[in-house]
Amino acid sequence: MEKDTELVTPGEKLGRASEFKAGKGAYVSPDNLTVYSSLTGFRRILSPPPDSPDQRPTVEVTGHKAHGAIPEPGSIVIARVTKVMARMASADIMCLGTKSVRENFTGIIRLQDIRATEIDKVDMHLSFRPGDIVRAIVLSLGDARAYFLSTAKNELGVISAQSAAGAPMVAISWTEMQCPITGQIEHRKVAKVGG
């Protein structure tokens, strides 16, 4: 086993998939060409067992203990929407499951990942607003160390939003939230509560 003390961060290239297998803390790009790091830690190369049919060494990243939880594909995260554009919204990931994250992770929700049905009718500005708290699932690590997030399940979407009057809004349907003070209704991609 060869140790490597090189510190890597999420999204950093670890090697070519033709030369290495992805171990813990690493993943292969969708085109199966490149192995990337999925967390902050130390890059390690593990030699394959002599009897293994696949003789590529395994590259893995072992996190160092100072870091908290790291989002990985399939993780459920809680994020605060920071910016809404025509084709995507960006958000700061605050929690991974029930644990708060210590590092700054950015999430991107693309237009096609907001909901599972009638994707062509989705309007970004009617789905999220800056300041909304959303529950989302991590699809993959995107570019520039931002995670691609999806809210395309019933239980995913906006879980908390403030109205213009500054009150916490109440979900009244899948697509609407209402201000309890003014009664004003705003559009959102709302997360189903319970069941």
Structure confidence by residue, pLDDT tens digits, 7-16: 788 888 999 9
Give the integer Cα–Cα distance in Å for 70 and 75.
Answer: 9
Domain layout of the chain by residue ranges: 7-63, 76-187
Torsion of CA 172, 81, 122, 74, to 10 degrees: -100
Q: What is the pLDDT of residues 138-156, one digit of tens each?
A: 999 876 678 999 999 999 9
Fold that domain 7-63 belongs to in CATH = OB fold (Dihydrolipoamide Acetyltransferase, E2P) (2.40.50)
Domains 7-63 and 76-187 share a fold: yes
Residues of the chain predicted below pLDDT 50: 1-2, 66, 195
Collapsing DSSP to helix, strand or coil, 126 comes out as: helix
Tokens of 182: 């003014």
Report the 3 state secondary structure along 139-167.
EEECCCCEEEEECCCCCCEEEECECCCCC
CATH architecture of 76-187: Beta Barrel (2.40)
End-to-end, the C-alpha distance of the chain in Å comes to 47
